[in-house]
Amino acid sequence: MNEFEIIERYLTLDSRKRKDVIKGVGDDCALLKVPRGQRLAVSMDTLIGDVHFMSDANATDIAHKAVAVNLSDLAAAGAEPAWITLALSLPEFNQQWLEDFSRGLKRITEYFGVQIVGGDTTRGPLSITIQAHGFVPENVFHKRSTANPGDLICVTGELGDAALGLLVAKNELQVTPSTASELLKKYQTPYPRIAAGIALRGRATAVIDISDGLLADVNHISQQSEVGALLRYERIPFSKAALEVKDDELRRRAALTGGDDYELVFTVNEDELDAAQNALETVGTQCIPIGRLTGKPGVRMLHHKQEIELEQLGYTHF
Amino acid sequence: MNEFEIIERYLTLDSRKRKDVIKGVGDDCALLKVPRGQRLAVSMDTLIGDVHFMSDANATDIAHKAVAVNLSDLAAAGAEPAWITLALSLPEFNQQWLEDFSRGLKRITEYFGVQIVGGDTTRGPLSITIQAHGFVPENVFHKRSTANPGDLICVTGELGDAALGLLVAKNELQVTPSTASELLKKYQTPYPRIAAGIALRGRATAVIDISDGLLADVNHISQQSEVGALLRYERIPFSKAALEVKDDELRRRAALTGGDDYELVFTVNEDELDAAQNALETVGTQCIPIGRLTGKPGVRMLHHKQEIELEQLGYTHF
């Protein structure tokens, strides 16, 4: 089976035909139509086997996650997803693996209404590079650099599950089967907060998706907006599954520096909090204040008024 | 040096600031503006070390070629290039390599007026995935599937130099130093036919760039337009450097199946030939008829009325 046949059979996914795709997979270029009055938002991420995911993981989950992490960047930009391009490098042709991968692609692209419009398939070390393309109306782009001291810092959901799920996957954390299953699901098949990102258009002063870990991602906002951040540990939301992990220190580390949660962390002027909460409620998402921006540079965290030494969590200010 | 610093220092290339880039490198997403009345053309290609290029090749040339092969797909679509995204996977941080790579990127992006707007940098086996983005006015997209029997098949320049250059690079071909230098240049730093692609808008009935080799690429047109092709070997243009290679069979193989030339091969109605030639002349490009489309499926080639057995050239009809 050559490159063209692999693309045709496993990556073209005929099911989805968007009207804004004039020419999709199969020619030198895809030809696409961006709606009038909309800007194009694009994000590109590479996932490498045994660096970003375990090469022997289920290929359906690998496909899901590769698309999800890119859509999550669109969520942070408040963009409505439209198209995906996919460069797949494979060490060998493996029909079962490609079928599983194709199933994962189909599921998540249909869920979010996006179409695969192009890409490349090559023989080489296992690696997936995806570019996601979405639309944002003129003048409502979320940036990381427009937050102000005094703004509240909020998250859209529970933190730490993905990092704990990774430990379960690596057999480094013992929990009950149902807890294991919950945590694994969050790690393997995250659903990015697309609807929440759109709901926050014009309301949030900065938005970022939690990929590197809460502290690192809040630090991105803090650096780019030239503000500081004071977080309150007791307000960090945990899932029931995470609370069943007995090691408090491990759970804390997972939530603060673990990453891979793909919730949004955003800042909002205190006067806008109710509006943001209402907007998020209409899309079934929580809005949980966990701290406040300050004028003093850097990220700090209190736990019942006691400062937590963040370096002990493996967090380095960079 | 972490990922963010590498991107900032070597891949952001401040020199180029297009007005249609609202937000470039540095946020979750780039935010871009497609001009009114234009469609977006995108193409993505992966180059893997020791598969698509020699890992120990000059990094300036690697960067050049990685961008060039993507822009060549835009040329075939008649698109005007605008933006690049770049996913770079590197086995280790190597400052000299990154400086050289950055220099190559800067040179070719400035030459074609494109801006790097985003991407990803990861640690892993050497590999480069680039997506090129360009504009095409509504209703003038080149497809491969609109050619008709009787149309002339033309190329924009000399063939075979790149494949011969690869042999020089691998020390498998002995030629004079000046010939070696000419051939290597064509292999290492091709300049895609962007202006020619734009000049052919509305004139060519099918256009493709020669990346896989003349026969394979003519076969793509032939299959997608459901026509046949009859080429005439004596009309294939060769450079002075290629003609200095004494082995006729080697030169023929390089021109017909070698690939990597990044000239355009296109089809044009006979009545439109003069107009196409004039349009190409204004952008300094040749328009060389090398054959004709027929109603009989498949690709055939004559040499002074004798049919050449294409299988002997390593060409397989697929």
Closest residue in B to A31 (Cα) is B41
C-alpha closest to that of B16 among B79, B136, B97, B105: B105
Distance CA B57, CA B49 (A): 9
Residue among B4, B28, B44 whose CB faces A131 most closely: B44
| Yes or no, beta carbons of A2 and B27 under 8 Å apart | no
Give A146's contacts in chain B (Cβ within 8 Å): none
Q: How many helices (H) does chain B have, and how many strands (E)?
A: 10, 13
As a dihedral over the C-alpha atoms of residue A297, residue A218, residue A164, residue A86, rounded to 10 degrees, the angle is -140
Judged by a CB distance cut-off of 8 A, whether residue B220 touches chain A is: no
pLDDT by 10s per residue, chain A, length 318 = 666 677 777 777 765 689 999 888 877 799 999 999 999 999 999 999 988 888 899 999 999 999 999 999 999 999 999 999 999 999 988 899 999 999 999 999 999 999 999 989 998 999 999 999 999 998 775 655 678 999 999 999 999 999 999 999 999 999 999 999 999 999 999 999 999 999 999 899 999 999 989 999 999 888 888 899 999 999 999 999 999 999 999 999 999 999 899 999 999 999 999 999 999 999 999 999 999 999 988 999 999 989 988 876 666 654
Judged by a CB distance cut-off of 8 A, whether residue B45 touches chain A is: yes
- What residue has token string 């000419």? B182
Per-domain residue ranges of chain B:
3-137, 152-313
Judged by a CB distance cut-off of 8 A, whether residue B268 touches chain A is: no
Residue among A48, A122, A136 whose CB faces B31 most closely: A136
| Yes or no, beta carbons of B44 and A134 under 8 Å apart | no
| Yes or no, beta carbons of A123 and B87 under 8 Å apart | no
Distance CA A71, CA A53 (A): 17
CA distance A40 to chain B (A): 5
In terms of CATH architecture, what is B3-137?
A: 2-Layer Sandwich (3.30)
Residues B241-251, mean pLDDT to the nearest whole number: 94
Distances (CA, A) of B315 to A141, B216, B228, B252, B312: 51, 8, 16, 12, 7
| Yes or no, beta carbons of A39 and B45 under 8 Å apart | no
pLDDT at B169: 93
Judged by a CB distance cut-off of 8 A, whether residue B76 touches chain A is: yes
**Higher local confidence (pLDDT), A138 or B133:** B133
Closest residue in A to B20 (Cα) is A39
Give A45's contacts in chain B (Cβ within 8 Å): 87, 120
Distance CA A292, CA A147 (A): 11
Distance CA B235, CA A109 (A): 48
| Yes or no, beta carbons of A42 and B143 under 8 Å apart | no
Query: Using 50, 70 and 90 to split pLDDT, how confident is the model at B318?
Result: very low
* pLDDT tens sequence across B72-110: 999 999 999 999 999 999 998 889 999 999 999 999 999
Judged by a CB distance cut-off of 8 A, whether residue A28 touches chain B is: yes
Domain A152-310 in CATH 3.90.650.10? The answer is yes
CATH code of the domain occupying B152-313 = 3.90.650.10
| Yes or no, beta carbons of A208 and B46 under 8 Å apart | no
| Yes or no, beta carbons of A29 and B43 under 8 Å apart | yes
The pTM (predicted TM-score) of the whole model is: 0.91
Give B120's contacts in chain A (Cβ within 8 Å): 44-46, 129
- Total length of chain A: 318
Residue among A29, A118, A208 whose CB faces B28 most closely: A208
Closest residue in B to A126 (Cα) is B125
Closest residue in A to B52 (Cα) is A122
CA distance B32 to chain A (A): 5
Joined tokens for residue B72: 């060549």
Closest residue in A to B125 (Cα) is A125
User: What 3-state DSSP class applies to A81?
Assistant: strand
pLDDT at A139: 76
Query: Using 50, 70 and 90 to split pLDDT, how confident is the model at B23?
Result: confident
CA distance B277 to chain A (A): 23
Closest residue in A to B88 (Cα) is A46
- Cβ within 8 Å of B, A 141-160: 141, 143-144
| Yes or no, beta carbons of B22 and A131 under 8 Å apart | no
Distance CA B43, CA A301 (A): 45
| Yes or no, beta carbons of B30 and A51 under 8 Å apart | no
- Cβ within 8 Å of B, A 106-125: 117-120, 122-125
Half-sphere exposure of B39 (CA within 13 A, CB side): 23
| Yes or no, beta carbons of A122 and B2 under 8 Å apart | no
Distance CA B287, CA A53 (A): 49
* pLDDT tens sequence across B59-68: 999 999 999 9
Give A127's contacts in chain B (Cβ within 8 Å): 89, 124-125, 127
Closest residue in B to A211 (Cα) is B28
ipTM for the complex shown: 0.89
Distance CA A33, CA A83 (A): 11
Distance CA B105, CA A191 (A): 35
Angle (CA) B193 B58 B104, round 5°: 50
| Yes or no, beta carbons of B79 and A33 under 8 Å apart | no
| Yes or no, beta carbons of A28 and B77 under 8 Å apart | yes
- What residue has token string 């498998």? B172
Judged by a CB distance cut-off of 8 A, whether residue B43 touches chain A is: yes
Residue among A119, A134, A143 whose CB faces B27 most closely: A143
- Total length of chain B: 318
Listed in sequence order, the residues at least 6 apart from B204 whose beta carbon sits closer than 8 Å to its beta carbon are B142, B266, B267, B268, B276
Distance CA A312, CA A131 (A): 35
| Yes or no, beta carbons of B23 and A89 under 8 Å apart | no
Give B133's contacts in chain A (Cβ within 8 Å): 42
CA distance A247 to chain B (A): 31
CA–centroid distance for B235 within its chain:
21
How many residue pairs bridge chain A and chain B with CB atoms within 8 Å of each other? Answer: 166
